[in-house]
């Protein structure tokens, strides 16, 4: 598998075909079961989900008698009994189908450390029924390609993390090298010198993912012994070429961002020392910047959207209010000791529901097909 630099095509918007089939923005909530530790400590469950109504209720353990729980409604909710495949098929599959048709798409997991973000995004690779969004998307993409006729596909994968506001390429020979964000009128925000691997099947793209995962910054905190202290983004670019009615080759380019955010908890709760408070403040900076972007997008009065306040928000500029279809999965802990963080996550996700994205197909009618054809045949 070689690292092949491919020039970014100039993207020309074309009208979206049947955009109703996948909403531009979908916000779903997922609550994990009580952990063994929580059960052993006698923690009470304060989060209730009603999947049929898309409703989440959270009860304040310090509430006065008779005080009603706070209730939130989302596009879908998944309780502790929900299977991985259920979440993928209902909420994610239509988005990946849209990416295969040339849209940009983002799936983003947000929540406190230890609430199941990484389980939702990756799951357990070895057990098919526990595989998360990312391995399911790999399978989905290459199954679609193997069944397609009169179309040729080029699939490239990149993997990066944002750690303490620095961008690291997890697939580079030198992952310690810090990369720069750039902007171009044709392609928008991109990362200069980010490596990209052409992958021809599920096994190859899984290999790329595994290589990057080994390089991720992992730290130990009270909340979750192996909690990742970085935001990780796995980026899949899918180029599809086919002959149009005009006899010309047309190339559509869909990009899929798969985002596992670092935990959203307050510093005091993490009990982290040394590097950790610095890490936590940088994580909180990018997550609060994400919150500010969402607030500015939905308040209807802001003329300035503060995308530039963090690297994370600049990279997600398309996904929030831009040219992308986006799914946010808000992950929750059910126990009373997580009340403040769970309520904060629900409020964050509730605000995000009101973002308006304007997705469109990315089409490249330029004469770049022959060059890409050679890559496909290699």
Number of compact structural domains in the chain: 1
pLDDT of the residue at 216: 77
CATH code of the domain containing 271:
3.40.850.10
Determine the structural domain holding residue 156 and report its residue range.
12-377
Task: Please report, for residues 171, 212, 255, the alpha-carbon distance to residue 2 in angstroms, rounded to integers and kept in the order given.
Answer: 12, 15, 20
112 is in an annotated binding site: yes
- Does residue 6 belong to any structural domain of this protein? no
Tell me the average confidence (pLDDT) per consecutive run of 10 residues in the chain, 378 residues long: 38 37 86 95 95 96 94 97 96 96 93 93 92 97 95 96 89 87 85 95 96 73 56 95 88 94 65 56 76 85 88 89 90 96 94 86 60 52
- Does residue 3 belong to any structural domain of this protein? no
- Does residue 64 belong to any structural domain of this protein? yes
118 is in an annotated binding site: yes
Sequence-ordered list of residues with C-beta below 8 angstroms from that of 203, at least 6 positions apart, any chain: none
114 is in an annotated binding site: yes
- Does residue 360 belong to any structural domain of this protein? yes
pLDDT of the residue at 186: 76
81 is in an annotated binding site: no
pLDDT of the residue at 8: 37
Say if residues 337 and 265 touch (Cβ distance below 8 Å): no
Following DSSP, what letter does each residue of 327-377 receive, concatenated? EEEEEE--BGGGHHHHHHHHHHHHHHTT------EEEE-SS-HHHHHHHHH
pLDDT of the residue at 245: 85
- Does residue 366 belong to any structural domain of this protein? yes
188 is in an annotated binding site: no
pLDDT of the residue at 376: 52
373 is in an annotated binding site: no
pLDDT of the residue at 282: 65
- Does residue 5 belong to any structural domain of this protein? no
- Does residue 4 belong to any structural domain of this protein? no
116 is in an annotated binding site: yes
pLDDT of the residue at 203: 97
Return the number of other C-beta atoms located less than 10 Å from residue 234's C-beta: 26
pLDDT of the residue at 297: 87
pLDDT of the residue at 214: 84
- Does residue 2 belong to any structural domain of this protein? no
């Amino acid at each position: 598998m070689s690292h092949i630099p491919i020039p970014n095509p100039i993207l020309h918007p074309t009208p979206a075909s049947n955009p109703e089939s996948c909403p531009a923005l979908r916000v779903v909530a997922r609550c994990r079961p009580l952990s063994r530790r929580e059960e052993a400590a006698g923690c009470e469950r304060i989060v209730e989900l009603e999947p049929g109504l898309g409703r989440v209720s959270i009860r304040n353990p310090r509430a006065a008698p008779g005080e009603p729980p706070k209730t939130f409604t989302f596009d879908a909710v998944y309780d502790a009994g929900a299977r991985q495949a259920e979440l993928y098929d209902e909420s994610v599959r239509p988005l990946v189908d849209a990416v295969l048709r040339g849209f940009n798409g983002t799936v983003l997991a947000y929540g406190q450390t230890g609430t199941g973000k990484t389980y939702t995004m990756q799951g357990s690779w070895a057990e098919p029924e526990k595989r998360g969004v990312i391995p399911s998307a790999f399978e989905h993409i290459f199954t679609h390609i193997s069944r397609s006729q009169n179309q040729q596909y080029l699939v490239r994968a990149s993997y990066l993390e944002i750690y303490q506001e620095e961008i690291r390429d997890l697939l580079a020979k030198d992952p310690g090298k810090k990369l720069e964000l750039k902007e171009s009128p044709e392609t928008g925000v991109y990362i200069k010198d980010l490596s990209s691997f052409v992958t021809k099947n599920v096994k190859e793209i899984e290999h790329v993912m595994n290589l990057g995962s080994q390089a991720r910054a992992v730290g130990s905190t009270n909340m979750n012994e192996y909690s990742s202290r970085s935001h990780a983004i796995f980026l899949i670019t899918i180029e599809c070429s086919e002959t149009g009615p005009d006899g010309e080759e047309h190339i559509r380019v869909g990009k899929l961002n798969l985002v596992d955010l670092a935990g959203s908890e307050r510093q005091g709760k993490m009990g982290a020392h040394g590097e950790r408070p610095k890490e936590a403040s940088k994580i909180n900076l990018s997550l609060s910047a994400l919150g500010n972007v969402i607030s500015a997008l939905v308040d209807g009065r802001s003329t300035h959207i503060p995308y530039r306040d963090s690297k994370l928000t600049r990279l997600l500029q398309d996904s929030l209010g831009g040219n992308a279809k986006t799914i946010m999965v808000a992950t929750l802990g059910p126990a009373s000791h997580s009340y403040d963080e769970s309520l904060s996550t629900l409020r964050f996700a509730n605000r995000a529901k009101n973002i308006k994205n304007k997705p469109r197909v990315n089409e490249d009618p330029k004469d770049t097909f022959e060059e890409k054809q050679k890559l496909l045949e290699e």
